Structure 1
Amino acid sequence: MQRRIAALVLAPLLLTAGCGPIEGTSGQPSTPSLPASSAPIATASSPPGSTVPSGSQAEAAPCRTIELKISVQGAPGGGAAGSQYNWLVFTNVSARTCSLYGYPGVARLAGPAGPQVNDPLNHMAATTPARVVLAPQAAAHAVIQEGHPAAFEPACHAVDIAGLRVYPPDETAAVFVPFTERACSAKGVNGGFVAPIEAGLGE
């Protein structure tokens, strides 16, 4: 009888112990983010011989600017009627697995030290961000969309740019990425858009 009473007393305590809140990593502050515990996770394609350890997706710390090589390449297909597309490519050059989530900050520059041309690119809101886990030497990309400057003249005042100033998500250190093109210099005219970072370099 005493054993039966003890079991009845302990049962509610055990049930209560399993109902506490589950703490997760807070969301990224500079992007319209989801908490890390609920954000979708995508693993970037890894180069041969490179793997993402099991269970590391949820724990991978954000990639720092110094850990990334950032470059620009043409998007598959190049563009559509009235628009041109490029990829901003982020390669993890560090020895650890890290993650990226959300939108990079992107602005056009007339030279490595500026000045800035037009406004920074706007966020492409149609795509939902997902947390991208990068193994060492793996890459991810963000789509850049711009209109053809000639279609916006005479208000555009097109000029040559020398590159892009890029901030990885939630980083305060930027890098200059060489990239030459014609862009509208008039603020608010053909400002362009950048999408959230996506895993891999596939179409």
Structure 2
Amino acid sequence: MTNEPIRIAQMMTDMNFGGVEMVVMNYYRNIDRTKVQFDFIVLEGSTIPQREEIEALGGRIYIVPRYTHLIQYEKAIQKIFKENDYKIVHSHMNTLGIFSLYGAKKAGVPVRILHNHSTAGKGETKKNIIKYILRPFAKIYPTHLCACSKYAGEWVYGKNTEFKVFNNAIDLDKFKYNEVVRNELRKELDIEKKFVIGHIGRFCYQK
């Protein structure tokens, strides 16, 4: 027996300021890290603005070749899986997760989670083509299926497939109304007497 926490390999694509990164980091900040730890496997070219926080919380970051260089990608992730003896790999790469979970299966990882965070969206033709091509293979390599919503799960796994819904979690205290902060920010931005509509996220169909 060991007192070391279980380490879970979190498979990411580009780790920048995207929504998936924020969701995973929210989970990471709030779990009991004496029992469970996260390591992040991210693609080359990521800015990784969360690096300092991740390392302060006890996590590790591994940078691997992009999946467009598939042979190099598979060699790199399988090496990391074996060296760290991960028992759980959690892929947040949507339909691209078949590449990371194939590597996990080859490396002998017993628990392989595919977590789908999206569907096909208008105006993303190239991404949608890839998603539709890979979607039939989504259930081959995972041992557990997850999604951010019922719709996202049914889109990738099918309506007659069991999967677990993990609703995106946020810290509500960070978004409580504060009149003082509101007034200070409106003054700073010179919008004190203006009607403002705010949007956080990409201007795309899903958002």
For the pair shown, the structure with the greater C-alpha radius of gyration is 1
Name the structure where strand makes up a greater proportion of residues: 1
Q: TM-score, normalised by structure 1?
A: 0.21
The higher-RCO structure (CA 8 Å, 6+ apart) is 1
Q: TM-score, normalised by structure 2?
A: 0.20
